[in-house]
Structure 1
Amino acid sequence: MNVKRKTETASRLSVAPMMDWTDRHCRYLHRQLSRETLLYTEMVTAPALVRGGALHLLEHHDAEHPVALQLGGADPRELAQAAKLGANAGYDEINLNIGCPSDRVQSGCFGAVLMERPELVAECVAEMRAAVDVDVTVKCRIGVDDQNPEEILPEFLARIVATGCTRVQIHARKAWLQGLSPKENRDIPPLDYPLVQRMKGYFPNLHISINGGITSLEQAEALLAGGLDGVMVGRAAYHQPADVLGTADRRIFGQGQDTSAEEAVHAMLPYIEAHLTSGGRLNQITRHMMGLFAGRPGARQWRRMLSEKASKPGAGPELVLEAMRQVEALALTPEDV
Structure 2
Amino acid sequence: MMDWTDRHCRVFHRQMTRRARLYSEMVTTGAVIHGEREKLLGFSPQEQPLALQLGGSDPSDLAKAARIGEGFGYDEINLNVGCPSDRVQNGRFGACLMAEPALVGECVAAMKAAVSVPVTVKCRIGIDDQDPGEALHTLTQTLVAAGVDAVIVHARKAWLKGLSPRENREIPPLDYPLVYRLKQAFPRLPVVINGGITTLDDADQHLAHVDGVMLGRAAYHQPELLLDVDRRLFGQNNPHDDASAALDACVPYIESQLARGVRLSAITRHLLGLFAGRPGARSFRRHLADRAVKEGAGCEIVREAMAFVSRSDEEMAARVNAA
Q: What are the Cα deviations for residues 261-286 of structure 1, in whole angstroms up to 9, with x where unaligned?
A: 01111101101110111111111111
Match of 1:193 in 2: 176
Match of 2:44 in 1: 61
Q: CA 1:300–1:47 in structure 2 vs 1: closer, same or farther (change >3 Å)? A: same
Match of 1:10 in 2: none
The amino acid across from 1:264 in the alignment is A
Q: What are the Cα deviations for residues 299-318 of structure 1, in whole angstroms up to 9, with x where unaligned?
A: 11110000000111232111
Give the C-alpha shift of residue 185 in structure 1: 0.7
Q: Does 1:284 align with 2:262?
A: no
Q: Does 1:254 align with 2:235?
A: yes
Equivalent position to 1:40, from 23, 37, 40: 23
Q: What are the Cα deviations for residues 102-145 of structure 1, in whole angstroms up to 9, with x where unaligned?
A: 11111111110000000000000000000000000000000000
Name the CA distance, whole Å, in 2 between partners of 1:50 and 1:276. 28
The answer for unaligned runs of 5 or more in structure 1 is: 1-17, 333-337
Give the C-alpha shift of residue 54 in structure 1: 4.2
Match of 1:87 in 2: 70
Give the C-alpha shift of residue 49 in structure 1: 1.5
The amino acid across from 1:197 in the alignment is Y
Provide the secondary structure at the position in 2 that maps to 1:168.
strand
Provide the secondary structure at the position in 1 that maps to 2:174.
coil
Match of 2:290 in 1: 308
Q: Does 1:266 align with 2:248?
A: yes
Match of 1:229 in 2: 211
The answer for unaligned runs of 5 or more in structure 2 is: 317-323
Name the CA distance, whole Å, in 1 between partners of 2:280 and 2:35. 45
Sequence identity (%): 60
Name the CA distance, whole Å, in 2 between partners of 1:199 and 1:30. 30
Asked if 1 retains the 8 angstrom alpha-carbon contact of 2:17 and 2:238, the reply is no
Give the C-alpha shift of residue 223 in structure 1: 0.6
Name the CA distance, whole Å, in 2 between partners of 1:273 and 1:315. 11
Give the C-alpha shift of residue 158 in structure 1: 0.6
Name the CA distance, whole Å, in 2 between partners of 1:212 and 1:130. 30
The amino acid across from 1:248 in the alignment is V
Asked if 2 retains the 8 angstrom alpha-carbon contact of 1:113 and 1:177, the reply is yes
Match of 1:238 in 2: 220
Name the CA distance, whole Å, in 2 between partners of 1:224 and 1:74. 31
TM-score, normalised on structure 2? 0.95
Asked if 2 retains the 8 angstrom alpha-carbon contact of 1:247 and 1:258, the reply is no
The amino acid across from 1:287 in the alignment is R
Name the CA distance, whole Å, in 2 between partners of 1:173 and 1:320. 38
Name the CA distance, whole Å, in 2 between partners of 1:101 and 1:175. 6
Alignment of 1:13-162 (within 5 A): 18-52=1-35, 54-162=37-145
Name the CA distance, whole Å, in 2 between partners of 1:51 and 1:79. 13
Provide the secondary structure at the position in 1 that maps to 2:105.
helix
Q: What are the Cα deviations for residues 169-227 of structure 1, in whole angstroms up to 9, with x where unaligned?
A: 000000100000111111111100000001010000010000000111110111112x2
Asked if 2 retains the 8 angstrom alpha-carbon contact of 1:282 and 1:316, the reply is yes
The amino acid across from 1:216 in the alignment is T
Provide the secondary structure at the position in 2 that maps to 1:247.
helix
Asked if 1 retains the 8 angstrom alpha-carbon contact of 2:16 and 2:238, the reply is no
Give the C-alpha shift of residue 258 in structure 1: 5.7
Give the C-alpha shift of residue 164 in structure 1: 1.4
Give aligned pairs, total: 313
Name the CA distance, whole Å, in 2 between partners of 1:314 and 1:48. 30
Q: What are the Cα deviations for residues 224-254 of structure 1, in whole angstroms up to 9, with x where unaligned?
A: 12x2100000111001111x21000000111
Name the CA distance, whole Å, in 2 between partners of 1:323 and 1:247. 24
The runs of at least 4 consecutive aligned structure 1 residues that moved more than 6 Å come to none
Match of 2:188 in 1: 205
Match of 1:326 in 2: 308
RMSD over aligned Cα, in angstroms? 1.1
